[in-house]
């Protein structure tokens, strides 16, 4: 075997990793996208045209919200009366003096066992008064976002046994393993606080996870009506708990609770968009590579499809969503209307060019179509007709970019989110 050939064989896996691999049996070419018609967010259920922001607010917004609750994500159980917040640790001199680190437990009451979600917060020291905050779930525990040894090691169930997790629990070796996705110092230096929690505290991410999660903790909703696990879904549970984190942030004098930018990647991007749509206290909502069931249009069936996601992750969406497997055209809504529910608040949709599974162009087209609703307030959406070139952010109240590279959260993405937040939060 020639040396050159051996070298090529050695390099091949590396070369292949540069693109997220295509899965067989799915659409990856624009020419194969089926013909479809998007539901019009500005045509009400009774067929009448919605022409003003006041009509939108008076009834159209809730019509669309109801469709998403009934057909996609399930319903949210309301705000529980009994919530307790405990600051479990505080260090005013964290990250070499750059920030204050606080860890806060959000304690849920009224169920059959103790139940808590643990929040990690860094607040910049070099500012006075309440500061705006980037809030987002992490995939692997708070300790994974930074090597800071003061962060409590999560005791919750972990999905994967890699990156320092063993027997589905974190070990010391897991510290900082997701740090590349959380440029904490950069965010702090830009004047923003960072708040994060592990989504697995709310519900472990597997089909039976609800048994150990908030969906088995509560037997009734806030109004006392019976609440079964099929009434919501894992994504709704995660999104609803983000609202509980906001309940806490509203009580924290370090934080400007009118300036919360919510972000999430991938399945947590789906979660963020649903949270941003349902809770108007999020000032900015950011979808990072959220794909199917997030920002991407379901009707395009490009990359991941409704059938595939319902099969791989049956717990993410509610049972009615299964009726739309290979039947997306029958959905009463599509995902541009989810983004539209965020209007008139700023929303940012980010794609990655190699992340074809998440349908980058479908994410763009969705962001663009949501613009019709923003126009009711005279706000401009993405401001362009077709997907912009790679690494070229566009948009005003609806931001969009497609980054070079694959499914991930990178410094490039953060740079755009920080700029977007500066612009919209008046920094």
Binding residues (CB under 6 A) for ligand GTR: these are: 266-267, 291-292, 304, 309, 312
Is the backbone peptide bond immediately before 344 cis, with ω within 30 degrees of 0?
Answer: yes
CB of 29 to ligand GTR, least distance (A): 19
CA 134 to chain centre: 12
- DSSP secondary structure letters along 203-215: S-SSTTGGGGSHH
Q: Is the alpha carbon torsion for 179, 189, 269, 391 positive or negative?
A: negative
- DSSP secondary structure letters along 16-60: HHTSPPPPTTSB-SGGGSPP--PPPTTB-TTSPBP-SHHHIIIII
Q: Are 272 and 134 in contact (CB under 8 A)?
A: no
Nearer to ligand GTR, 27 or 98 (CB): 27
CB of 357 to ligand GTR, least distance (A): 6
User: Quick count: other Cβ atoms within 10 Å of Cβ 63?
Assistant: 17
CB of 294 to ligand GTR, least distance (A): 8
- The widest CA-to-CA distance across the chain, in whole angstroms, is 74
Nearer to ligand GTR, 309 or 353 (CB): 309
Nearer to ligand GTR, 146 or 308 (CB): 308
List active site positions.
266, 407
CA distances from 108 to 86, 161, 276 (A): 11, 28, 22
Q: Which residues of 405-419 are buried (b: 16+ CB within 10 A; e: fewer)?
A: bbbbbbebbbebbbe
CB of 230 to ligand GTR, least distance (A): 21
Nearer to ligand GTR, 136 or 291 (CB): 291
Calpha distance 407→12 (Å, rounded): 20
Nearer to ligand GTR, 267 or 345 (CB): 267
CB of 293 to ligand GTR, least distance (A): 7
């Amino acid at each position: 075997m020639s040396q050159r050939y051996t070298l090529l064989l050695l390099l091949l896996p590396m070369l292949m990793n540069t693109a997220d691999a295509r899965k067989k049996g799915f659409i990856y070419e624009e020419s194969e996208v089926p013909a479809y018609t998007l539901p019009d967010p500005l045509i009400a259920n009774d067929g009448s045209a919605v022409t003003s922001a006041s009509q939108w607010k008076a009834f159209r917004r809730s019509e669309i919200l109801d469709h998403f609750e009934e057909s996609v994500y399930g319903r949210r159980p309301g705000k529980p009366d009994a919530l307790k917040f405990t600051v479990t640790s505080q260090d005013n001199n964290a990250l070499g003096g750059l920030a204050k680190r606080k860890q806060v437990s959000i304690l849920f009451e009224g169920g059959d066992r103790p139940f808590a979600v643990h929040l990690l917060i860094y607040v910049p020291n070099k500012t006075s008064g309440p500061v705006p905050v980037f809030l987002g779930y992490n995939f692997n525990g708070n300790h994974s976002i930074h090597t800071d040894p003061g962060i409590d090691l999560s005791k919750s169930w972990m999905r994967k046994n890699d990156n320092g997790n063993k027997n589905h629990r974190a070990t010391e070796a897991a510290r900082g393993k997701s740090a590349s996705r959380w440029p904490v110092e950069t965010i702090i230096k830009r004047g923003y606080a960072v708040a994060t929690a592990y989504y697995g505290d709310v519900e472990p991410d597997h089909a039976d996870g609800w048994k150990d999660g908030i969906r088995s903790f509560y037997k009734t909703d806030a109004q006392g009506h019976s609440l079964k696990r099929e009434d919501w879904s894992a994504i709704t549970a995660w999104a609803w708990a983000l609202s509980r984190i906001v309940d806490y942030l509203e009580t924290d004098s370090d934080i400007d609770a009118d300036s919360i930018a919510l972000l999430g990647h991938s399945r947590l991007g789906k979660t963020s968009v649903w949270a941003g749509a349902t809770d108007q206290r999020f000032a900015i909502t950011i979808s990072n590579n959220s794909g199917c069931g997030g920002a991407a249009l379901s009707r395009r069936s490009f990359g991941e499809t409704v059938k595939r996601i319902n099969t791989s992750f049956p717990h993410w969406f509610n049972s009615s969503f299964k009726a739309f497997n290979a039947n997306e055209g029958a959905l009463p809504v599509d995902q541009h209307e989810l983004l539209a529910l965020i209007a008139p608040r700023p929303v940012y949709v980010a794609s990655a060019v190699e992340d074809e599974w998440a349908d980058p162009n479908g994410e763009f087209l969705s962001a663009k179509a949501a613009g019709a609703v923003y126009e009711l307030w005279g706000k401009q959406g993405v401001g362009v007709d077709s997907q912009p070139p790679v690494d070229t952010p566009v948009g005003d109240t609806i931001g969009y970019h497609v980054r070079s590279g694959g499914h991930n959260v990178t410094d490039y993405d953060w740079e755009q989110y920080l700029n977007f937040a500066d612009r919209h939060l008046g920094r």
